[in-house]
Amino acid sequence: MDFTSIAPVTFIFLFFAGFFAGFVDSIAGGGGLIALPSIMLAGLPPQLALGTNKLQGTFGTFSALYNYIKNKKASLKDSVSGIVFTFTGAFFGSYLVQKTNASIIEPLIPVLLLIIFIYTLFSKNLHLEDSRPKLNKKLFYVIFGLMLGFYDGFFGPGTGSLWTAAFMFFLGFNMTKATGHTKIMNFSSNIISLIAFAAGDNICYSIGLTMAAGQIIGARLGSGMAIKRGTKFIRPIFLTIVLCTIVRFLYLNFKF
């Protein structure tokens, strides 16, 4: 699906929105906080906006993912089972959201994110280095691949923060490694969700590809900075993004 009446200045705005979303998302997740509202400002209805967001976000996630793998901060080989279960969860989530209202699960997300925020805030030195895992890796990927894959396909905002926290807490990854592996899972759910939304004709390609160009550049720059500067650089941005996501959800649900 495409829109032919969008003004050229809107595409310029969307390109830069994609750039900033890709930059932030590649460091700490939360790019959807910038990208999805920007898409909706262009006048797209919710399901079309969600599908277009998946298109542009997939390009940015791949750009960041490539950088993390190239610099050995993430491993595809160790993530195969996670990719399979995330694919599965995302497929069912993407199919279901096109039949139902995604807002039914919104009230649950700020609670989870608040727990993540408090946990990370008071764990100042915990994620500078890898720590002992609390869960078997195969079981971890079954549980969180299906659960977070489904959530990302069904709704999406906050998925990166949830994955990063899960990797740190349950597998003991340091924050840089957790962020890199989060991109693998994000890309897995994004690509299958993208296929599902495309099959449902719920993508505006002109907007999605414009933002994708910005996403690629922003994600490349952001992931490069995260890799170079490490956990101490990622942590404050991660906390800021999680807090902003909490505020956004509370505002949308309770209209403070």
pLDDT digits (tens, 9 = 90+) for 141-176: 999 999 999 988 887 767 888 898 899 889 999 888
Give this prediction's pTM.
Answer: 0.82
pLDDT at 106: 62
pLDDT at 211: 96
Q: CA separation (Å) from 161 to 44, 156, 205, 208, 248?
A: 26, 11, 27, 23, 14
Which amino acid is present at 13? F
Long-range CB contact pairs, 118-122, < 8 A, 24+:
119/165, 119/169, 120/165, 120/168, 120/235, 120/238, 120/239, 120/242, 121/239
What are the per-10-residue average pLDDT scores of the chain (256 residues)?
69 94 86 83 82 92 94 92 94 79 64 74 65 91 94 79 89 90 93 88 92 96 90 80 78 61
CB atoms within 10 A of CB 140: 19
pLDDT at 17: 93
Alpha carbon distance 53, 47 (integer Å): 10
Could you tell me if 186 and 160 are in contact, meaning their C-beta atoms sit under 8 angstroms apart? yes
Question: Closest Cα partner for 9 from 41, 51, 48, 45?
Answer: 41
Alpha carbon distance 204, 127 (integer Å): 39
pLDDT at 256: 47
